[in-house]
Structure 1
């Protein structure tokens, strides 16, 4: 689930956020009964998120970490709806450091249709329109913290009075990934968006900052799991996970 939500899934709605802690908020309303594709390609993602979803009347809540590789997810199972908060680089839960969440997830030990347990306390599951209010409560409770330097560095700013080694440590502590890995993932995601929109591979190389087309091809294989031609002409029975542009610098 979560990062896995396909960008063209029926009923999917998503929006950016003005919160310094939140990258994006999304929801999926129950479908209209249309047949789901057979599979979905879940693209690598450098952010972590909180997701709540209901399937066959059972609600689940999970914290899911960054994904460093693509996966193919079978589709077609029933889902009654989902809601998620994707957090900005630099924000993390004190009790669940992102470094321990890379390529994995932690599920709430107890969830109902209205509440879930996080860090030993019961919380109300937020809604699409009040996600930022929920996040503010986490911040006031001391559960959600943020290192603003991380977002600034990943956006291309050069910090003053902070050594490169200290920057590397702080990025890794807050995101679970190195600065270079984040930029590689975000560059691949941006390239995938451009290819899906019909841009020629040769143009994408220059737009996103690859050295040449073989460099682009290696990146697509590593982080997206599909060739450029497959993204430009996707199979009718396959979906791609949600793609969106972040503030992270993507050029080498």
Structure 2
């Protein structure tokens, strides 16, 4: 599966990535751990399936239907999707109703399904309806209060977000051809064993598998910035 993706800036940073891909044959793929929620649309055999997939704390194996087109909207860390906050979606996926005319039901209302090209319009409509907001994750509160608020909004602790994002960045660097030593040094893992443990838990593949010519089928990997969730 080849992924096409693009960045986007909508509203107050509600969405930071849009991706699409398609499948030819029935298969499975490894879904790496994620810090953010996704809206995922699947068109297969004349049907539209929609779901919200929450943050994932470990790598999992996901079935892939044949002859399907996928569209993914990756919400930024701190985006709240009413009535489905990230904390309620941790390690699970929630199907969204789809009308006979192919419109998605969110918050009791039906909305025109987005395309790869017009996701911004779809998101702005949800934002105007109060179904999408961005919560502040700043440090204006005491540490313990901040950690509770952070977990309530994202479903994860700040430490978990950092670990998951770092493992995704490591996997991307390895697939780009970097040696594991460079990855350890750049991302400040303790050693090869520390990196290997993170890859097994959060990505589901070893460094050798990620660097192999016949690479495993995986969900979209993304590079991260200097901060968690970026």
Any conservation in 1 of the 2:48–2:98 contact (CA below 8 Å)?
no
Instruction: Confirm or deny that 1:52 pairs with 2:41.
Output: yes
Q: Summarize the Cα distance change of 1:240–1:120 in structure 2 as closer, same or farther, 3 Å threshold.
A: same
The 5 Å alignment of 1:54-69 reads 54-69=43-58
SS of the aligned residue for 1:128 comes to coil
* Corresponding residue number in structure 1 for 2:6: 15
1:79 Cα deviation after fit? 3.2
Q: Summarize the Cα distance change of 1:119–1:246 in structure 2 as closer, same or farther, 3 Å threshold.
A: same
Question: Structure 2: how far apart are the matches of 1:100 and 1:248?
Answer: 27
* Corresponding residue number in structure 1 for 2:88: 100
Q: CA RMSD in A?
A: 2.0
* Corresponding residue number in structure 2 for 1:137: 125
SS of the aligned residue for 1:83 comes to strand
Match of 2:184 among 174, 189, 205: 205
Question: Structure 1: how far apart are the matches of 2:71 and 2:82?
Answer: 22
Give the structure-1-normalised TM-score: 0.82
Any conservation in 2 of the 1:186–1:248 contact (CA below 8 Å)?
no
Any conservation in 2 of the 1:42–1:73 contact (CA below 8 Å)?
yes
Map Cα deviations across residues 119-172 of structure 1 (whole Å, 9 max, x no partner): 21111111212211211111111111111x32xx5xxxxx3x422122212221
Question: Structure 2: how far apart are the matches of 1:245 and 1:166?
Answer: 30
1:115 Cα deviation after fit? 0.7
Map Cα deviations across residues 41-99 of structure 1 (whole Å, 9 max, x no partner): 21111110111111111111111101111112344x32332222110000011311111
Any conservation in 2 of the 1:50–1:86 contact (CA below 8 Å)?
yes
Match of 1:121 among 106, 109, 113: 109
1:193 Cα deviation after fit? 0.7
Could you tell me which runs of 5 or more consecutive residues in structure 2 were left unpaired when the two chains were aligned: none
Question: Structure 2: how far apart are the matches of 1:111 and 1:138?
Answer: 17
The 5 Å alignment of 1:149-164 reads 149-150=136-137, 159=139, 161-164=140-143
Give the structure-2-normalised TM-score: 0.90
1:196 Cα deviation after fit? 1.1
* Corresponding residue number in structure 2 for 1:187: 166
Size of the aligned set, in residue pairs, is: 226
Map Cα deviations across residues 152-202 of structure 1 (whole Å, 9 max, x no partner): x5xxxxx3x422122212221221111100110000000001111121111
* Corresponding residue number in structure 2 for 1:3: none
Question: Structure 1: how far apart are the matches of 2:94 and 2:31?
Answer: 18
Question: Structure 2: how far apart are the matches of 1:204 and 1:128?
Answer: 32
1:114 Cα deviation after fit? 3.4
Deviating runs (4+, > 4 A) in structure 1?
35-38
Question: Structure 1: how far apart are the matches of 2:94 and 2:125?
Answer: 20
